[in-house]
């Protein structure tokens, strides 16, 4: 039973876990491995997707552990299954009977306890991990109340699951599904990006100048749809329904923004006038070119204009936006049905 008035106590990480390193497996080595039939996650120091950077037929570590990035700012995730790992991935092996629900609770507590304490210049090494503490709810005897933690996460999890299911049902409209030819059955041609829309620059807003607000600020990140902050500032980059293209940072990544947003100068705005579905199709085609670029070979305005992307075409050789829209509508319906089936199983 989850209650509001719960007593909490501080515990050393080493009271609850053994702090260990993982075996480093380079990505190029993983690509040559084919030792199992099942795919296992490859855990890295990235902050998004729970640190997962691909799946391979190989593992070195057992699951049901907490993984911590010791290379940058100490990203923390619960890892349920067996996995392999890149360099600088540490693991907390429980000394108690941990399950995924208590694991998620402890991850949240660790993130709160270690927030903003570590950075690239002050890494969360194994030695520093062992010195850290975290707050946990306790029983009347002063011991970690793992039952409470499990019940709390379950209640939250199933409430969110129900809410998510209802939103999917509300959004799902199978009547919009129309059979169309496969991608390999249609005609394609290449187009300069500048032929698809107008390309505009962004404008940097420094962290110290950012005011509180709810307007997305789009920068050159590869995650969170390009959103790096929510701010209250205003400038002439405010745009809705456009595509952002990273010219710096995570070069070549592109995102569609159906909401009003502000844009940093590390990305460019592509103003197309296309609807959501066509824009998402174009975004995918832009991202297929990202491997051509890197931090030393930026995707500036001139290069964006002259970058070619492949698009489906009509018999007249024009971009077939009607096909692109229906393709993405169909893809959305199939994914929503898949999600709903998974949630209801």
Whole-number pLDDT of residue 145: 96
pTM > 0.75: no
Q: How far apart are CA 263 and CA 268, in angstroms?
A: 8
Whole-number pLDDT of residue 71: 83
The predicted model gives 241-262 an average pLDDT of 95
Q: Are strands 89-94 and 242-246 parallel, antiparallel or unpaired?
A: unpaired
Whole-number pLDDT of residue 93: 98
Q: How far apart are CA 246 and CA 219, in angstroms?
A: 8
Fold designation for 8-151: Adenine-n6-DNA-methyltransferase TaqI; Chain A, domain 2 (3.90.220)
Are 8-151 and 183-342 the same fold in CATH? yes
Percentage above 70 pLDDT, the chain: 99
Question: What is the SS3 string spanning 164-203?
Answer: HHHHHHHHCCHHHCCCCCCHHHCCEEEEEHHHCCEEEECC
The ranges assigned to domains in the chain are 8-151, 183-342
> What class has domain 183-342?
alpha beta
pLDDT band for position 119 (50/70/90)? confident
Written as six digits, the tokens of 44 are 């890295």
The predicted model gives 233-258 an average pLDDT of 95
The predicted model gives 214-241 an average pLDDT of 94
Task: Return the higher-pLDDT residue of 182 and 70.
Answer: 182
Task: Return the higher-pLDDT residue of 37 and 316.
Answer: 316
pLDDT, one tens digit per residue, over 41-95 is 999 988 778 889 889 999 999 999 999 998 877 789 999 999 999 999 999 999 9
Task: Please check the confidence at residue 108 and state whether its pLDDT lies above 90.
Answer: yes
Q: How far apart are CA 137 and CA 9, in angstroms?
A: 6
Whole-number pLDDT of residue 148: 95
Whole-number pLDDT of residue 1: 46
């Amino acid at each position: 039973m989850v209650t509001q008035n719960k007593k909490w106590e501080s515990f050393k990480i080493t009271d609850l876990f053994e702090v260990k390193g993982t075996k480093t497996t380079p990505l190029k080595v993983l690509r040559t491995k084919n030792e199992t039939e099942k795919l296992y996650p490859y855990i890295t120091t990235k902050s998004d997707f729970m640190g997962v950077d691909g799946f391979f037929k190989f593992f070195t570590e057992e699951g049901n552990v907490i993984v911590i990035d010791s290379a940058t700012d100490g990203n923390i995730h619960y890892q349920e299954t067996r996995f392999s790992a890149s360099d600088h991935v540490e693991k907390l092996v429980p000394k108690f009977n941990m399950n995924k629900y208590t694991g998620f609770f402890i991850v949240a507590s660790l993130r709160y306890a270690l927030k903003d304490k570590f950075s690239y210049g002050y890494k969360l090494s194994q030695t520093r991990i062992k010195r850290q503490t975290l707050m946990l709810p306790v029983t009347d005897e002063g011991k970690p109340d793992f039952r409470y933690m499990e019940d709390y996460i379950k209640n939250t999890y199933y409430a969110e699951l129900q809410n998510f299911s209802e939103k999917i049902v509300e959004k799902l409209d199978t009547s919009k599904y129309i059979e169309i030819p496969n991608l390999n059955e249609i005609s394609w041609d290449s187009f300069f990006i500048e032929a698809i829309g107008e390309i505009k620059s962004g404008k940097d807003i420094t962290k110290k100048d950012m005011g509180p607000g709810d307007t997305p600020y789009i920068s050159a990140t590869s995650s969170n749809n390009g959103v790096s902050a929510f701010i209250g500032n205003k400038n002439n980059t405010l745009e809705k329904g456009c595509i952002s293209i990273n010219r710096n940072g995570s070069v070549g990544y592109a995102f569609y923004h159906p909401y009003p947003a502000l844009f940093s100068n590390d990305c460019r705005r592509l103003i197309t006038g296309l609807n959501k579905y066509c824009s998402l199709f174009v975004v995918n085609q832009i991202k297929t070119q990202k491997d051509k670029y890197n931090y030393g070979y930026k995707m500036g305005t001139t290069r964006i204009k002259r970058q070619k992307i492949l698009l489906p075409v009509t018999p007249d050789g024009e971009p077939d936006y009607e096909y692109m829209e229906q393709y993405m509508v169909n893809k959305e319906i199939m994914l929503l049905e898949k999600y709903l089936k998974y949630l209801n199983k």
